[in-house]
Amino acid sequence: MSLLGKLAEARAELDARYEDPWHSRVEVAVRDKDAISTAAILDLVHAPATTGTARRLAAIMRRLNFIPIKSRRLMPGGRAGNTVTRGWARPVRTMRSSPTISNANSSQQGIIP
């Protein structure tokens, strides 16, 4: 095995060992959803709505290939007033490569190329 192969294998092992315990709960909570508010996800995983937990959730949602949004439609009652809620949505188009986001799941169902 080449040096790069060994490095990739070691990195995958480290990532698996230090995976956030919320990852599986969040993944189950957002399954079959196109958009969801941050507050709703935090309620589903029974976490307090604090800045720290929102940042932790943001890292997980980016790994699940969601994009951050601001929307009135995510509020209960929707479109009423000028209240805007932050949340997450699945991308309609494939995401471009960046240093922080992998395109490994670009063949995922529901994404239009």
Distances from the Cα of 42 to the Cα of 7, 9, 12, 58, 107, angstroms: 35, 33, 27, 11, 28
Report for 2-6, 72-76, 101-105: range of highest mean pLDDT: 2-6
- The string of pLDDT tens digits covering residues 8-53 is 888 888 877 777 788 888 998 888 888 888 988 999 889 998 999 9
The answer to whether residues 99 and 80 touch, using CB atoms and an 8 Å cutoff, is: no
Per domain, the residue ranges of the chain are 19-89
Structure tokens at 24: 């599986």
The SS3 assignment for 42 reads helix
- Give this prediction's pTM: 0.60
pLDDT value at residue 79: 56
DSSP code at position 68: E
Query: 19-89 in CATH: which number?
Result: 1.10.10
